[in-house]
Amino acid sequence: MTTPAPAPRWAIRAAHAAALTAVPSGLWRIAMALGLPVGYSDEVLRESFHIPGWGAAYVVGLSVATEAFALLTLGLVQPWGEVVPRWIPVIGGRRVHPLAAVVPAAVGALALVLLWTDLLFWWSVDEKPAMLGPWHTIVGILYQPLVLWGPLLAAVTVSYYRRHR
């Protein structure tokens, strides 16, 4: 069995960039959960998002889960994307079958493109009346990096596939 070539520098950079795309929107949601001013009135936070309350746990959990998925992109350029870390029960130390990484990553990239491409048109949609002051613009800026997540993941996935075929 041959060892695949190391990931090219551009793929490593793209993987790190993909991992960072979820950070700005996640921080905004965490700020919302903590009750910091994020553009919604207290009434909207209570009625629409159930904050304070269970909605706070939901948006923090969503932020953490989103970032965890974004960080998985790094597995396509790191050794743990080729050999399962030994600390993982049952499968630790085994080689990762390339399709076990490529198929979920490709499906994920497609899903992310479909999910986030509409954000390109954030400012063409009428400002939501619930947003206060300049927050419609601020939130749009914080969510724009998500548009890059899918294409970056797709590029890194193609690189991984080419190195492991």
Q: What is the pLDDT of residues 9-62, one digit of tens each?
A: 999 999 999 999 999 999 999 999 998 989 888 888 888 889 989 999 999 999
Confidence of residue 128 (pLDDT cuts 50, 70, 90): low
Looking at 38-116, list the stretches that DSSP marks H as alpha helix, in order from N- to C-terminal side.
42-49, 54-71, 98-116
Is pLDDT of 125 > 60? yes
Positive or negative, the CA dihedral 162, 10, 6, 104 is: negative
Q: Return all residues near 125 (Cβ < 8 A) that are at least 6 apart.
A: none
Which one has a higher pLDDT value, 46 or 4? 46
Give the Cα separation of 75 and 82 in Å (integer): 8
What does the alpha-carbon distance between residue 146 and residue 18 come to, in Å, rounded to a whole number? 9
> pLDDT of 63-94, one tens digit each?
999 999 999 999 999 988 888 888 888 888 88
Q: Where are the domains of the chain?
A: 9-164
pLDDT at 86: 87
- In eight-state DSSP terms, residue 131 is B
Mutual angle of helices 23-33 and 135-143, in 10-degree steps: 130
